[in-house]
Amino acid sequence: THIENIQKRNYVELIPGRKLKPSKLGLVLAQGYHLIDNSLVLPKIRSDIEGQCDKIAKGVADKDDVVVKAIELFSAKFNHFVDNINKMDVLFGCSFAQLQDVGKPFTRCGLTRKYLQFIAGPPPRLYNKTTEIVYPLPIGGEVKQWTGRHCPLCTFELCLYSVGAPRRTFPLCPNCYNNPRPEFGPQPGEEDAAASKPGDEEDEAKERSIRRMAGKNMVRECPHPDKHPLIEEMTVSPDPESDGVLILDPQLGPKWRLVSTREPITVYLPKSVEKVTILDRKDDILNCHMLSIEFKEGQSPIEGKNKYISCFAIDEVMQGLVRVHHGDERLKASSSGGRGRGRGRVCGRGRGDRR
C-alpha cells in the first residue's frame, strides 16, 4: 500500500494513535518537489487523471487519447525535474549537514521566534531547524547580525548587509528578501522580473526562488526596493546620481554617513558630528525624513548651533560641509571605478549643481 511504501522509504513514521509523522527526509523531499514543481506534491494532477478515467468509463473520452496526453504531461514534468534536480542540494545540505559544526544561531524567525542558523555556504543562507525552511541570502557582500531590530512588516529579526569599499551598509530582512511584495517595486538583483509575460507570474516567482536557492543573485546594492517600509523609514534624501535614495547608514557613528541605495556613493558628515537622529517629521514636498544633528561641544561648524535640524536634500549649509566618495575602490582603476573623493553639494538642482 501507499502507507507501507512511504514508511519503508523513511518518509514518515507511525506514532501513537495510528498517526503518521513526516520524517526529516520526507519534509525535505516535499519542500524540494514544491520548489521545482508543486504539482508533484499537490493532489490536483491525480484528481485530473481520475476525472479522465471516469470519462473513459462513461464513454465520453477516448482511452488512447487520455493515455497519450498523460504520457506527454508526465514526460515533460520528468524532464523539467531532471533539469532542476540540483536545486535540491541546498535543502539537503541544510537538513543533513552537521549544523552544530557549520551553522550558528544568527537571527530570530518572525514566525516561530526560534533562532535561524547562519550557514556561510556558498551560497550563504539562514535555516530554521524547526520548520525546515531555508532563507537564501544575497551574495556579493557581507551579512552581519543586527541584534534586537525587527522588520516592521513581518517581525523577522533584521541583519545588516554591507557591500563595496568603502563599506555601504543596509538593513536586510531575510523573509522580505525571499518573499518580495510587488507593490514595493522590482527586487534588486532580479532585473528580468519586470519582463514577465501575463499569466507567467507563478512560474517567474518559482524561477526567482530557484535562483536564490542556488546563490545566483549577485547584489551589490541595497537588497530591498526603496519603497519597502524598512528603507522608507531611513530615507533622508533622493539620490540625484541614480534612481535610488540616500539613507542614514544603520551602523551609525562614530563615522556618520549617508549611503546611496543604488550607486556606490557615500556622503560623510563632518567629523564634529556627535549624534544623528532620523526624525518622524518629513519634508512636505520630497517626503524625506528630517535629521536632528548634534555637534560635539565647541566644535559646531554652524555658528551658535550645537543642535541642528536639517532636511538634507535642500539644506545647502549641510551639503557644503559633507565629503562625498563616488565609486567602489575594489574596482581599482577600471573605467567603471570610482571618481574619488570631493566636497560639496550632493543634492539640489541636479548633477551640474555639485561642486
Other CB atoms within 10 Å distance of the CB of residue 265? 25
Predicted local confidence at residue 209, as pLDDT = 63
Phi, psi torsion values for 281, nearest 5 degrees: -70, 140
Of 151 and 83, the one with more pLDDT: 151
Residue length of the chain: 355
User: In the predicted model, is pLDDT for residue 310 greater than 60?
Assistant: yes
- All residues at 6 or more sequence positions from 329 whose CB lies less than 8 Å from its CB, including other chains: 165, 166, 337, 338
Range from 190-199, 270-279, 293-302 carrying the lowest mean pLDDT: 190-199
Going 323 to 324 to 327 to 333, the CA torsion angle's sign is: negative
pLDDT value for 252: 83
Q: What is the mean pLDDT of residues 325-331?
A: 72
Does position 69 have pLDDT exceeding 60, yes or no?
A: yes
Choice between 308 and 95, residue whose per-residue pLDDT is larger: 308
pTM of the full structure: 0.65
The DSSP code sequence of 283-305 is -TTT--EEEEEEEPTT--SSTT-
Residue 316: per-residue pLDDT: 93
User: What percent of the chain clears pLDDT 90, i.e. is strictly above it?
Assistant: 51
pLDDT digits (tens, 9 = 90+) for 216-248: 568 999 999 999 999 999 999 999 888 999 999
Q: Which residue has the higher pLDDT, 101 or 161?
A: 161
Q: Whose grid coordinates read 517567474?
A: 204
Average pLDDT over residues 41-62: 91
> What percent of the chain has pLDDT above 70?
82
Average pLDDT of the chain is: 84
| Dihedral angle over CA of 228, 230, 236, 242, nearest 10 | -40
Q: Which three cell numbers stand for residue 7?
A: 514508511
DSSP state letter for 261? S
Please state the rounded mean pLDDT for residues 89-107.
70
SS3 (DSSP) at 351:
helix
Give the whole-angstrom CA distance, residue 63 versus residue 55: 9
Could you tell me whether strands 289-295 and 340-343 are parallel, antiparallel, or unpaired per DSSP bridges? unpaired
| pLDDT on residue 35 | 86
Instruction: Fill in the DSSP letter of residue 44.
Output: H
pLDDT band at 327 (very low <50, low <70, confident <90, very high): confident
In this prediction, residue 39 has a pLDDT band, given cuts at 50, 70 and 90, of confident
Q: Which of 245-249, 266-270, 280-284 has the lowest average pLDDT? A: 280-284
Q: What is the pLDDT of residues 19-35, one digit of tens each?
A: 999 988 888 888 888 88
Q: Are 145 and 106 in contact (CB under 8 A)?
A: yes
pLDDT digits (tens, 9 = 90+) for 123-154: 789 989 888 888 999 988 999 999 889 999 99
Q: Report residue 324: phi and psi, to 5°.
A: -110, 130
Three-class SS of 155-208: CCEEEEEEECCCCEEEEECHHHHHCCCHHHCCCCCCHHHHHCCCCCHHHHHHHH
pLDDT value, residue 189: 75
- Helix, strand or coil, per DSSP, at residue 145: strand
